[in-house]
Amino acid sequence: MRPVRTDLYRDGEYSYERAYGFVPNLRSYPGESEETLPAILVIPGGGYEFVSAREGEMVAEKFVSLGYRCFVLTYTVNPLHMAPLKMQPLTDASRAIRMIRKNADSWHVDPNRIAVMGFSAGGHLACSLALHHADVPENDPELAAISARPNAAVLCYPVITSGEFAHMGSMRALLGFSHDTPAEERRVSGTPMPGCVTADDELNYASLETQVTKDAPPAFLWHTMTDASVPVENSMRFAAALRSAGVPFALHLFSQGKHGLSLANEAWAHSCGKGEYTYEPTRAFTNAALAGEIDLSEEVKLELIENEHFGTGIAKRNDVPVPEVQKWPELADAFLKSYL
C-alpha cells in the first residue's frame, strides 16, 4: 500500500520559525475499496520533538485492514526546544481534519465519522484537537467553514496533564517551560495560548484533564501500568474527567509494557526503515544545523546526526512484543463502531 502525500499548507501559509523547509503534511492510506468508510487521523508521538515512524504507517495499515480510511499526520515539532510550538501543532491537526472533510467525496470518507488517534505526545495533540478545536483560527475561508471537531478520539498512552505526572519534555517543547520550571523562570513567549495571560494559565490550558466539557467527543484510552515515561495516571485522570462530564469513554489498562508500544507486535519490534517519512521535520532541522543555519556546537551537531530519530532512522532496540497489549486495535475498533 503506497501512501499518498498531501501538504497541509500552500506557499506562504506556513511560517514556523524553525521549520527549515519542512511543511506539515498528510499521508493517506486509502485501501482497495471505493466504498465510503469512516476515517482515522493518526498522530504519532515523539514528545513534540520528533514524529515517531513506529506509530504511523503500521498503525494506519492495521486500521485500514479493519475497515477505515487512514491518514498519518507529520506535524510541526521542536527538536531542541528552541522555539515553543504553542498552537502550531494544533493548527496542523485542525487543518488536517478540515481537509479530510473537504475532500470526503474524492477520498471516499464519511465526513461525519472521523476519529483522531494519538500516541504519547501525539495523544496530547489528538486530545487537544478534541477539546480545543474551536480555538484554532483558520485563514482559508473555505476550510474555516468546515468543522475541525473529531467525532471520536482514540488516545494511546497519552500525555494529558501538565502538572503532577506530566511528561515535562513535551510541555517544554510545546510551551517553552513545564511544571518543574521555577515559577520565576516561566515566561509566556510569542502569542499566548487562547484565553491565557500568565504561564500558569498556559500550563492549565495544556493540562487537558481540566478542559473537559460535556461536548467532548467519545474517547477510547489505553495505557500500561508500567509505563515509565508517561505515567498511567495521565489516562486515569482524563477518564475521571470524562466520567464527571458524562462523556462516553472506555479505559483499558494493561499490566505490563514499556512506553511507545504502538501495536506491541513483531511489526513494531522489528520496524526499521518503515514509514520513516515522519522524520522529515527533524531531518530538515538536522540538515539546517549541518549547513550552519543554526548556531550549534559541533558536539550537538554530532548528537543530531547520531540520534536515531533526527538523523539515521530507527536503530535496533531489542524490543519484545507484548501479547497482552496486541488486542487494543480490535477493542478500539469495537468502541468506534459504537460511536461513529
- Give pLDDT tens digits for 42-53: 999 999 999 999
**66 alpha carbon, distance to own chain's centre:** 21
Structural contact between residues 97 and 129, judged by C-beta atoms closer than 8 angstroms: yes
The domains of the chain, with CATH numbers, are: 4-278+320-339 (3.40.50.1820)
Structural contact between residues 245 and 214, judged by C-beta atoms closer than 8 angstroms: yes
Instruction: Check residue 315 and give its pLDDT.
Output: 56
Instruction: Check residue 312 and give its pLDDT.
Output: 46
For residue 49, give every residue at least 6 positions away whose Cβ sits within 8 Å of its Cβ, in sequence order, or none: 77, 78, 79, 80, 81, 169, 173, 282, 309
Average pLDDT of adjacent 10-residue blocks, the chain of 340 residues: 92 95 96 92 96 95 97 97 97 98 97 98 98 96 98 98 96 96 93 96 98 98 98 98 98 97 93 86 94 95 81 65 97 97
Cβ of 53: how many Cβ atoms within 10 Å?
A: 25
The residue type of 320 is V
Convert 60-75 to b/e letters by CB count within 10 Å (16 or more is b).
Answer: bbbbbebebbbbbbbb
**149 alpha carbon, distance to own chain's centre:** 15
Q: Fill in the DSSP letter of residue 297.
A: -
Using N-to-C axis directions, what is the helix angle for 88-102 and 121-132, rounded to 10°?
70
For residue 155, give every residue at least 6 positions away whose Cβ sits within 8 Å of its Cβ, in sequence order, or none: 117, 118, 123, 126, 127, 219, 220, 221, 222, 235, 238
Instruction: Summarize pLDDT for 85-129 with one digit per residue, the tens.
Output: 999 999 999 999 999 999 999 999 999 999 999 999 999 999 999
297-303 own/partner pairs: CB under 8 Å, 24+ apart: 300/80
> Using CA atoms, how far apart are residues 337 and 340, in angstroms rounded to an integer?
6
Q: Which of 267, 266, 262, 268 is nearest to 328 (CA)?
A: 262
